[in-house]
Structure 1
Amino acid sequence: MTPDLTTDIATRTEIGPRDRQEDRARAVVNPDGSWMIAVADGLGGHPYGDEAAQAAVDALPERIADVAEMTAAFDAANAAAWALRPEMRPHNESVSSAIALTTLVVAAWTPEGGLLLSWIGDSMGFVVPLGGGPGWHSTPHNDPFGFISRCIGMSRADQDRFDLPSGDVDHFGDDVRGERVNGWIEGGGLLVVLATDGLFGPILGAHGREWFSDDPDDNSLGFALPADRRGTAADVADTLMDIAGFAGLQDNITIAVARITPEISADAGDSINSRGLR
């Protein structure tokens, strides 16, 4: 038998009430079936946030196969943002508002490495199982007042290089084992949803935390995505954008979605043996 995976990808962006769009998205699909999606959000109030977001997504490679390559990708994004305003670096944190800063969340798939999802800042990644049940979500790097504690391009008082300090980038692949991803795919597939923080504010304000979840204890975005709006990645992105719009846009919003489903050939047996999962 020849089990394969089908991936459908879509991105959406909305400027909202802001006078400029500081979010950026990137999506790449490669001939071998690997893919990469990313969203970045220039930090509000920072004059070069849009430049930093663009530099970060442009610096990402088209193929990311393991955690080491993902870490290197984030280092490359940070280097690109760091290089935008080198004249400000000697001042470090005292003039951080004049430095190009952005958040970044990246999801990547390769046949040999499976699914990776990594992030820094308050843009977030979600996994929604198409077969139902609780999914998974990243944890934003901010404090209760909304100040971002870790991001791309952030200056440190003791830094004179652009390398991200060890531990600043969190990786889905570090703590969610392949068996869990296998289970989601064998159960019918999954959605990977990346979004800048502009999506969360209006929905949380209008509906509360449980709006993001099939299970109130797990933010999976499932409750916000009825079955008839999960048929394509575009359905998912449009639905989330519509929900945020109805709740009242407060910020730029950018969404990237990958919809992964198993595809079984006619001679397949009763079981699914999903390849390429860690």
Structure 2
Amino acid sequence: MNEDSALAGPSLLAVADGMGGHPHGDVASAAAVTALTEPPAAGEPAAALAAAVARAAARLEELAAADPELDGMGTTLTAMAWDGAGFAVAHIGDSRAYLLRGGDLFQITRDHTMVQTLVDSGRLTPEQAADHPLGSTLLRALQPGGDQHPDLFRQDAAPGDRYLLCSDGLSGFVPAGAIRDALAGAARPEDAVTRLIALADAAGAPDNVTCVVADVADVAEGAADPARREPQLLGAAAGRGRRARRTRRTRRA
């Protein structure tokens, strides 16, 4: 069973979906997410995030070199770092980031999958892609010896925006319209996560399901700076068996 890791903080969000089987997947996802928490070098958030992803890739190479049994491991990684007015985004694999703004849902990342390439070329429709047998075939991931180059871009943000980072245990089984309704209808990020996990369960998702939901909000003058709070490591990165309120994982045998 593949294992997910996540990170939820006031200025840094991430989801990683490990691959290579249990326990190799959890080693990969945990290593990738943990690398994001290391003190960044001075510079812009975009450069710091890119450097953190490079550290994560290097760490996987080191682990595989030390233990040949880990050579087939890998992980997706979708991460967002706040820069004061928006987010630096790093993305590789088929975990996703969504934006809910003004009641509309936008997928802001692009899947690095064979099926997405076929959709982009016009050889498949999105409807055909949903049930395609190559749906889980990744073209890019953080993986020893693989293509380690993530998409790097900036996402503008505004108060009232709600962001969702999720593994494909959610996006592969719950339609975009249902995701939109769950995000739009929840008063708090925690409520949205609970609803999304329930939808994935009801849809029969056979894989781990990890969701991180965060709102962009104005900080009142004189209030404590939320950016000073420590981010939470979740899932495999926090240790097996631990759970947190913003991320839940579900399994089916």
TM score, norm. by length of structure 1: 0.63
**Per the alignment, in what secondary structure is the counterpart of residue 55 of structure 1?**
helix
How is 1:186-225 mapped onto 2 (pairs within 5 angstroms)?
189-203=160-174, 211-213=175-177, 221-225=179-183
Give 2:212's match in structure 1, choosing from 245, 256, 259. 256
Equivalent residue number for residue 43 of structure 1: 19
Residue 124 of structure 2 corresponds to residue 147 of structure 1: no
Higher relative CO (Cα under 8 Å, sequence separation at least 6) belongs to 1
Q: How many residues align?
A: 199
Give me the CA root mean square deviation.
2.7
Residue 110 of structure 2 corresponds to residue 120 of structure 1: no
Aligned 8 A contact 2:71 2:144 in 1: no
> What is the CA distance between 1:115 and its match in structure 2?
1.6
Structure of greater Rg: 1
Residue 60 of structure 2 corresponds to residue 81 of structure 1: yes
TM score, norm. by length of structure 2: 0.69
Q: Percent identity?
A: 31
CA 1:261 to 1:151, structure 2 compared with 1: closer, same or farther past 3 Å?
same
Amino acid paired to 1:222: R
Residue 8 of structure 2 corresponds to residue 52 of structure 1: no
In 2, Cα distance between the equivalents of 1:103 and 1:59? 14
> What do residues 140-160 of structure 1 show as CA deviations (whole Å, max 9, x unaligned)?
11112121111112414xxxx
In 2, Cα distance between the equivalents of 1:223 and 1:63? 37
In 2, Cα distance between the equivalents of 1:53 and 1:98? 14
Equivalent residue number for residue 5 of structure 2: 24
CA 1:58 to 1:134, structure 2 compared with 1: closer, same or farther past 3 Å?
closer
Amino acid paired to 2:29: A
In 2, Cα distance between the equivalents of 1:55 and 1:80? 7
Aligned 8 A contact 1:84 1:100 in 2: no
Gaps of at least 5 residues in structure 1 are: 1-17, 30-34, 90-94, 157-163, 204-210, 215-220, 266-278
> What is the CA distance between 1:57 and its match in structure 2?
0.6
> What is the CA distance between 1:44 and its match in structure 2?
4.7
> What is the CA distance between 1:235 and its match in structure 2?
1.2
